[in-house]
Amino acid sequence: MSRLTLNQDALRHNLEVVGGWMDHFGASWNLVTKMLCGHEESLRMLSGLGIHAVADSRVENLAVVRAMLPESEAWYLRPAHLSQADIIVSLANTSLASEVAGIEALDAAAGARGLTHRVVIMIELGDLREGILPGTLIQFYRHIFRLPNIQVAGIGANLGCLAGAVPSVEQFMQLAMYRELIELKFKVKIPFISAGSSAVLPLVLDGTLPRAVNHFRIGEAVFLGTDLIQGGTLEGLRDDVFTLHAEVTELKEKSLNPLVETGDVAPFDAPGDEPHEAGQRGYRALVNIGQLDTDVAGLRPLDPEIHIAGASSDITVVNVGARRRGLRVGGTIAFRPGYGALARLMQSHYVEKVILPASGISRREIRETA
C-alpha cells in the first residue's frame, strides 16, 4: 500500500513561522484544514500543536474538527448551501457569504437554535469566484443588517483562487474603502477585513500589504510551503510536511519510447519527462499509485533524476535513468505532492496516512540554541 507521511516537525515549524508573520503584522488568522479532508488523527495532532482557529469548506470535515478540536473557532469557507444551513450554524461560528438567500437561511437556522451566526461578506475583486459586485454593496448590506440572528463580522475577498489573479495593493485598498463606506453609511463597526490567503503572504513579507487587512485564511503555505505568486517555496517555510512513498512493483530496463503505433492523444501528460532518442533505453519502475489515488501530474519525485513517464488508474511509470539508483522491487520512491495531489491523497482510502513522531523541538529552537 502507498503511504503518505506527515512530518510533525516540519508542520510545527511552518505554523510557528506563519504565526510569527501574523503577530508581526498584527492580524488574526485561521488555519484552513480542508486539504486534510477530515482526517481525525491529523486534526487531533493540530490540537496538540495549539491550533485554536480553523476553517474548512465541508460540513463533514467541520464535524470532525468539532470532535477533535472542540474549543476551536471554526469558519465555514463556502457560500451557504440552503439545504445545510442548520448544520452550518451548528458547527461554524462564522461563514463566508455572498448571497442574500443563503444568509437568510443561516439567519433562520440560527434563530431556531437561539444562536447568533457571524458572516463575512465577500466582495468580487476580479478573480471571478464568489463575491457580491461592489455596485450592489449598499443595497446588500441594508438587507443583511435587518436580519436579527446575523452579525456582520467582516468584509472579505478571494484572490488567486480561481483565475490566478495576482493580489495587488490597490485591491486591498479598495476593500478598506468599502469597509469605511459601510461603517459610515450604517453607523456600525465591521471588525474584519478577511482578505489574506497564502497568495497574499508575499505582500506581507515585502511590507506592501495595507494594514487594514487584519484577518487571514491560510492553508497551502502551512501544509506545503508554497509561494503561489513566484512559485517554489516561501522563504523561511519548509516544503517537506507531506511525502508520498509509493512502492516499486516492477523495475526493468526497457525502451524509453513506445514500440507500437500510438494515437494522437496521449492518455497522460508528463511535463517533467524529457524527450528520448529513438532506440534509447533505461530503467523504468512501476509504482503502486495511480489516477484513482491522486493527481499524478501533481507529484514531484524527490530525486531530480527520476521523471514520471505516465500513469493509468492504478499504476504510475517513472523513468529512473541508465542505472537502478539503488531501487529494488519492494522498495519505495518518494514524491512531494502539490495541492491537488495532496487533497486527493488525503481522500483516498487506498493510501495509508502516517504521522511521523515529533522530535519535540523545532528547527527555529535548534537555531536559537545553537
Q: What pLDDT, in 10s, does the model give residues 232-248?
A: 999 999 999 999 999 99
Residues of the chain with pLDDT > 90: what percent? Answer: 80
Q: In whole numbers, what is the pLDDT of the chain averaged over residues?
A: 90
CB-CB contact of 34 with 56 (8 Å): yes
User: pLDDT tens digit string along 335-365?
Assistant: 999 999 999 999 999 999 999 998 865 544 4
Q: What is the DSSP string of 88-101?
A: HHHH-SEEEE--HH
Angle at 211 (CA atoms; ends 206, 217), nearest 5 degrees: 80
Q: What is the DSSP string of 141-160?
A: HHHHTT-TTEEEEEEE---S
- Which three cell numbers, joined as nine digits, stand for 309? 513517464
Q: Domain 8-224: which CATH class? A: alpha beta
3-state secondary structure 228-277: CCCCCECCCCCCCCEEEEEEEEEEEEEECCCCCCCCCCCCCCCCCCCCCC
CB-CB contact of 115 with 148 (8 Å): no
User: pLDDT tens digit string along 90-102?
Assistant: 999 999 999 999 9
* Weakest mean pLDDT among 126-140, 246-260, 301-315: 246-260
Q: For the stretch 260-298, what's the b/e string if a residue is b when 16 or more beta carbons lie within 10 angstroms of its beta carbon?
A: eeeeeeeeeebeebeeeeeeeeebbbbbbbbbebbbbbb
In the chain, domain spans: 8-224, 242-337
Please tell me whether the overall predicted TM-score, pTM, comes out greater than 0.85 for this model.
yes
